[in-house]
A and B are shown apart, each in its own frame.
Chain A
Amino acid sequence: MMGRMDSPLNRSKARLAVIAALVLLALILLPSFIGVYQTQLLTYGLIAAIAALGFNLLLGYTGLLSFGHSAFFGIGAYSVAFLARYLGIHSMELYILLGLPVSALLSALFGYICVRHTRIFFGILTLALSQVLYSLAYKLFWVTGGSDGLRVPQPTLLGGLFSFTGKDAFVRFVDGYYYYVLAVFAICVVVMWVIVHSPFGKALQAIRDNEVRAAFLGISIRRFRWIAFLISGTFTSLAGILWVPLNGLTTPEVLYWPFSGEIVFTALLGGFRNFTGPIVGGIVFTYLKTYAVATTEYWQLLLGTVLVLLVLLLPTGLVGGLSGLMRKFNAKEKR
C-alpha cells in the first residue's frame, strides 16, 4: 500500500499549500509596488472574496442559491455603524467581536425560515427577507440615517496599537488596514477550506448532489442546510464588518437586492464549483466594476454583457475554465 505521505492526495495537498503560500507572499509584498488607490482597491477585493466564500458555501457546496446575501453584508456593516454611532466604539476588534454574534443570530433566524424550502422558493425567501431589512434601513432614518446612511470613522487596529489621526491618516490607514484584512482573509480561507473538506462539508455536498440518498444515509437535511446557512451568513457579515471602516459610510444600498446580485455575480465569475472560484471572482469583480464605472456611464450594460458571455461561454467561471484548459494541456503532454 502506498504510504500516506506519498499518496496522490497528500502530494496534491502539499502542492496546494505551496501555491497558497506563494499567493500569500505576493499579496504581502504587493502594496510595496502599487499605490494607495490600488491597495485600497485590492482590500475591497479581499473583502468581496470573503463575502463570496461565505455565499459559495450555500451555492457551490449545498446547492442553495440565495438572492438575499446583501442582508448579511448589510447586517455586518450596520452593526459596525451602530457600535460607532451609538456606543462610541472605535476598535476594529470590538466591531468583529460584537458584530459577529449579532450577525450569527440573525443568520440563524433567517436560515431557520429559508431552509424549509429549496430552489426558487428558497431564493425568493432570501430575497424577501433582505428587502425587509432594506426597507427598515431606509425608513427608520432616525436610527439608520435613512438614505444618507451612517458614517464610520477609521477605527483603531490591534487593541489600539495602531490608531489613525493627523496628517496622512487615511493613507496610513489604507496601508495598515490592507494587512489587517489580508490576515482576516487568510484565516477565513483556511477556516472555509477545513469546513468544506470536513465530514460536515462532505455531507453538504452529498445533500447538494442527491438529497434523497443523503436522507437515506441518516443525514438530517434541514439541520445541515441550516448550519450551512448560518456559517454562510456569518462569513458574509464579516465581509460587511470589514468593508465599512474602509468605505467610511454605510447606506441602505448594501442591503438592496442588486447588491445580492453582485455577490451571485462574483461566484459565477470565478466559478462556484471550485473552492478558489469565489475568491478570484470577488477580486476580479471589484476591479471589473471599478473600471467599468470609471470608463462608461453604461457600466451596468457592460457588466450585464460580461455576465451573459460568462454564462454562455464560461459556465464554470474563470477558475473552472482555467482548470479545464490545464487539464487538456496536461493530457496532451502525457500523450
Chain B
Amino acid sequence: MTALLKTVNLRKHFGDTRACDDLNFVVNRGEFLSLVGSNGAGKTSLVNLISAHLTPDSGQILFEDKDITNATVSERIKAGIARSFQIVNLFDGLSVFDNVALSIFSRDGKTVKIASLADHDEDVRRETFEVLGQFGLRDKSELLAGGLAQGERKLLDVAVAYALRPKLLFLDEPTSGVSSGEKAQIMDTVSSVVRAGMVTAVIIEHDMDVVFRYSDRIVMMHEGRFLADGSPDEIKLNKDVANILLGVPLSS
C-alpha cells in the first residue's frame, strides 16, 4: 500500500495541553481507517491540522508527497482533502439538493457563475441526484436541510463532503448523536459509498463496535500521541487499548 498522507513530527500544543505531540501519522491509499481514543486524546485536533482548520506549531504535512503544511483550506480541498464535522455543519436555510449541489459547484469552480440559474446546470443536477441517491436522500431533495432528522442530517453532512470527490475524506464522528439502530444504517451507507468511490477515509469514532466492524486499520490516540496502530483483530488484543477503553490508567 502506498501512503496518501503523511505527517512528520506534527505538533500542536494548547498551553500545557499536548493535542498533537510530534505525530508521524500515515494514511494509506484506499484504506478505511479509524482514529479512536478518549475525549481530549487529540483526534479532532489532528484532523483540524490536516484540514487547515488549525495551524501546527511545527512539523510537516505531506499529501501525495507534496508539502501542504502551509496550504490554505481551498488549496487542500483542490488537492483532494475533504472533511465532515463532529457537530453537523449544514446550510440549514438551503434545500438538501442545494447543500450537495453547492459542493459540486464549488469543486468545479462554478460558484462564481452569477448570470445563470443554479438548477439549470444539467451536469450538476444529475450528479447531485446521483450523490443523494447513494446516500438515500433523493426523496428528501426538496426539503430544507434544517428540517431533516438527525440521522439524515449526519448522512447529508457526509454527502456534502463526499460530493467534493476527495481522495481523502475525514469523517468526524459520523454517528454521534443518533440512535444505535441508526448507527449501523449510517455506517453501512457511508462505508459502501466511500468504498465504491475508492475514496480513502479516516473516521473519528467512539463506538468500538462500529470501529471494529467497518475499519481496515485502527489508530488509537492518547494524550496527543499514538498508543496503538493495527488491524481490528490486533487492536482487540492490545492491552493498553483495552485499559484506555475501560478507563484503567496505563501502567507506563
Contacts and interface: CB of A to CB of B under 8 A. Distances in A.
17 contacts: A198-B113, A199-B121, A200-B111, A202-B101, A202-B102, A202-B105, A202-B118, A210-B89, A213-B89, A214-B91, A216-B73, A217-B107, A217-B160, A217-B164, A218-B73, A218-B106, A227-B114
Interface in B25-83: 51, 53, 73-74, 77-78, 82-83
A205 B93 CA distance: 8
A212 B87 CA distance: 12
Main secondary structure of the interface of A (DSSP, over half): helix
Given A209-B92, A210-B92, A216-B82, A198 B115 contact: yes
Nearest to B83: A216
Contacts of B90: 209-210, 213
Interface string A184-218: 00000000001101111111011011101111111
A157 interface: no
A300 interface: no
Contact of B51 (A194, A210, A216): A216
A214 B105 CA distance: 12
Q: Specify which of A198, A209, A227 lies most central, judged by the most chain B CB atoms within 10 Å of its CB.
A: A198
Given A210-B91, A218-B73, A195 B114 contact: yes
Given A199-B118, A199-B121, A216-B73, A208 B113 contact: no
Interface residues of B, number: 37
A287 B28 CA distance: 67
A199 B113 contact: yes
Contacts of B82: 216
A201 B102 CA distance: 10
A83 interface: no
B116 interface: yes
Interface of B: 51, 53, 73-74, 77-78, 82-83, 85, 89-94, 98, 101-103, 105-107, 110-119, 121, 142, 160-161, 164
Interface residues of A, number: 28
Contacts of A200: 111-114
A240 to B, nearest CB: 23
A94 interface: no
A320 to B, nearest CB: 13
A129 interface: no
Contacts of A206: 91, 94, 102
A219 B117 contact: no
Given A210-B89, A220-B74, A198 B117 contact: yes
Interface of A: 8-9, 194-195, 197-203, 205-206, 208-210, 212-220, 224, 227, 273
B93 A203 contact: no
A9 B91 CA distance: 20
Given A217-B164, A219-B106, 10 more contacts: A198-B118, A199-B105, A199-B121, A203-B105, A214-B91, A216-B89, A216-B161, A218-B78, A218-B107, A220-B74
Contacts of B101: 202
A206 B91 CA distance: 5
B105 A208 contact: no
A203 B111 contact: yes
B105 A194 contact: no
Contact of B85 (A195, A202, A213, A218): A213
Contact of B119 (A197, A208, A209): A197
Contacts of B112: 199-200
Contacts of B53: 216
Of residues B77, B78, B118, which shows the largest number of chain A Cβ atoms within 10 Å of its Cβ? B118
Which 7 A-B pairs rank lowest in CB-CB distance, beginning with the nearest? A209-B91, A213-B89, A200-B114, A218-B77, A203-B111, A199-B105, A217-B106
Contacts of A205: 91, 93-94, 98
Contacts of B118: 197-199, 201-202
Contact of B117 (A194, A212, A218, A227): A194
